[in-house]
Every structure is written in structure tokens, then in C-alpha cells.
């Protein structure tokens, strides 16, 4: 099964697993089903994106697929470790995913706020500084990787503004999701896993949808939901 049928099946499977996972995050965040469903999310999303784009795929789509693979490792590998090691493994793989996203978005930098509305850079700078200031007292020895990752997240989000509004929204939601993880890990704030995972899933979907639209500008979906409709297409802090 190739092409459109495969894309329809992969998109539908992703949608079902994503909804089931979020329900599990709300009802039983510590269950095995919650973990297993999380492990399936990125492979299914990557399959939907791959099946909805025709070879030879653009550089943007290829790099987004690589980033989704690294994100899958960030979702799964931390379960093999405990404590700070688990957190560092998660940050490590998602840092690699963000580097790949950044490399994917850099060719579009001339349309980003870095070149068109530099005054707007004050927003991500202020957000990162505020997040680090809030998390620093509880981060301890993890402060340096947290700072590095936070700066990289903001840089990627800024670069994403040059690709499209859909991709930029996804990148911003990625920042929100990881900020929630940091707040839950390093402050007394109770962060529901549902909030982490819902923003994370939305972020990855929007980036994939946006990548496909840029990949095929002549067949650009009119709205993000089209990606799943026509087939062309975190949970406690420990989530991700």
C-alpha cells in the first residue's frame, strides 16, 4: 500500500493514538498504556508525513522527518534511565531534534523576524530569561544544559517564523511544552502531563503540516486539519 491510502491510514492511526494518549494522560498518567501510546506518536506522524509527500522530498521535509525520529528517541530512551540521567537523555535527544529543526529552517531566515521585525526578538529573549530565572534555583547541576537547551529552543522558534505561520506556531508550542516540563521539574508548580503532551503533539503536527505545505506550494492545504483529513498528507513531568 503506497501513496494516498498509506497516508490516510497513517494519519488516522496517529489521530487515534494521540487522542487515546491524551485521554490516558488525563485519566491514568502513570499507566503502561500512557507510555506505550507516547512511544507510537512520532513514528506514526513521520509515516503520515512521508506518505503524503512524493519523492524526491524537499530538504525541509527530509530534515523534519529526521527531527521526528530524534524526538521519538527523546520520548522513549529516557524510560531506560532514572533520575537526572533520564532527564539529561531526554534533553539530549530533543536538543539534537532542535538542532535539526534549526538547520531545516535556516534557509528561510531572510523572511524571519530576525531580518524583518527585529524588535520582536525581545519577546523570545524575555521569555527565555524569565524561564531560566524561575528555574535556576531548582536546577542545580542541570542548569547549564537547561540554559543551552532554552537558548536553542528560542533560536529555532525565531528561525521558524521565516518558514510559515503554521511552522512558527508549532515551534512556539514546542517552547511552551518544554517550558512546562522545566517548570514542573525545577519549581513547585504542579504541571499536568496533559498540558505538556497536548502542546507537544500540537507542535509536532503543525511543524509537519507546515513542512508539507512548503514542500508542495502548488498543493498547499487551506488549513492545518486538511493534513489529516485528506491523507496528504507530554503527563507528568517525566513525559517526553
103 pLDDT above the threshold of 80: yes
Between CA 124 and CA 174 the distance in angstroms is 13
Beta-carbon count within 10 A of 73 CB: 17
13 pLDDT above the threshold of 50: yes
Residue 123: the pLDDT is: 92
Work out the average pLDDT over 219-229: 47
| Mean of pLDDT over the chain | 89
- Where does the pLDDT of residue 1 fall: very low under 50, low under 70, confident under 90, or very high at 90 and above? very low
216 pLDDT above the threshold of 70: no
The burial class, CB within 10 Å (0-12 / 13-18 / 19+), for 119 is: exposed
Residue 5: the pLDDT is: 87
Pick the residue with more confidence: 56 or 66?
A: 66
Between CA 149 and CA 101 the distance in angstroms is 13
Pick the residue with more confidence: 215 or 53?
A: 53
Q: Is 192 helix (H, G, I), strand (E, B) or coil?
A: coil
Distances in Å between the Cα of 236 and the Cα atoms of 46, 94, 96, 100, 208 are: 24, 17, 22, 26, 25
State whether the Cα torsion 32-21-16-226 is positive or negative.
negative
The grid cell for 75 is: 520520548
Contacts 24+ apart (CB under 8 A), 57-66: 57/215, 58/214, 58/215, 59/104, 59/107, 60/104, 60/107, 60/163, 60/211, 60/214, 60/215, 61/211, 61/212, 61/215, 63/100, 63/101, 63/103, 63/104, 64/101, 64/104, 64/207, 64/208, 64/211, 66/100
pLDDT digits (tens, 9 = 90+) for 164-174: 999 999 999 99
pLDDT cut 70: percent of the chain above it: 88
- Where does the pLDDT of residue 189 fall: very low under 50, low under 70, confident under 90, or very high at 90 and above? very high
- Where does the pLDDT of residue 37 fall: very low under 50, low under 70, confident under 90, or very high at 90 and above? very high
Residue 237: the pLDDT is: 54
Residue 239: the pLDDT is: 60
> How many CA atoms within 13 Å lie on the side-chain side of 162?
23
Residue 136: the pLDDT is: 95
Between CA 19 and CA 56 the distance in angstroms is 32
225 pLDDT above the threshold of 70: no
- Where does the pLDDT of residue 31 fall: very low under 50, low under 70, confident under 90, or very high at 90 and above? very high
Residue 4: the pLDDT is: 80
Number of H helices, E strands in the chain: 10, 0
Amino acid at each position: 500500500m503506497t501513496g494516498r491510502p498509506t497516508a490516510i491510514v497513517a494519519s488516522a492511526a496517529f489521530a487515534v493514538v494521540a487522542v487515546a494518549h491524551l485521554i490516558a494522560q488525563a485519566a491514568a498518567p502513570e499507566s503502561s498504556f500512557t507510555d506505550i501510546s507516547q512511544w507510537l506518536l512520532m513514528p506514526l506522524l513521520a509515516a503520515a508525513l512521508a506518505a503524503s509527500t512524493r519523492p524526491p522530498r524537499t530538504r525541509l521535509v527530509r530534515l523534519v522527518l529526521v527531527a521526528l525520529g530524534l524526538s521519538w528517541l527523546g520520548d522513549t530512551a529516557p524510560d531506560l534511565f532514572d533520575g537526572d540521567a533520564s532527564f539529561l537523555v531526554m534533553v539530549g535527544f530533543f536538543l539534537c531534534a532542535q538542532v535539526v529543526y534549526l538547520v531545516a529552517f535556516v534557509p528561510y531566515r531572510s523572511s524571519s523576524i530576525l531580518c524583518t521585525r527585529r524588535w520582536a526578538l525581545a519577546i523570545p529573549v524575555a521569555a527565555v530569561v524569565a524561564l531560566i530565572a524561575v528555574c535556576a534555583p531548582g536546577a542545580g547541576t542541570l542548569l547549564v544544559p537547561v540554559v543551552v537547551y532554552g537558548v536553542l529552543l528560542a533560536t529555532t522558534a525565531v528561525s521558524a517564523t521565516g518558514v510559515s505561520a503554521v511552522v512558527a506556531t508549532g515551534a512556539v508550542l514546542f517552547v511552551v511544552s518544554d517550558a512546562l516540563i522545566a517548570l514542573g521539574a525545577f519549581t513547585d508548580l504542579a504541571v499536568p502531563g496533559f498540558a505538556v503532551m497536548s502542546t507537544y503533539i500540537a507542535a509536532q503536527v503543525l511543524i509537519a503540516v507546515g513542512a508539507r505545505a512548503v514542500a508542495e506550494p502548488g498543493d498547499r492545504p487551506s488549513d492545518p486539519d486538511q493534513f489529516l483529513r485528506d491523507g496528504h498528507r507530554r503527563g507528568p513531568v517525566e513525559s517526553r
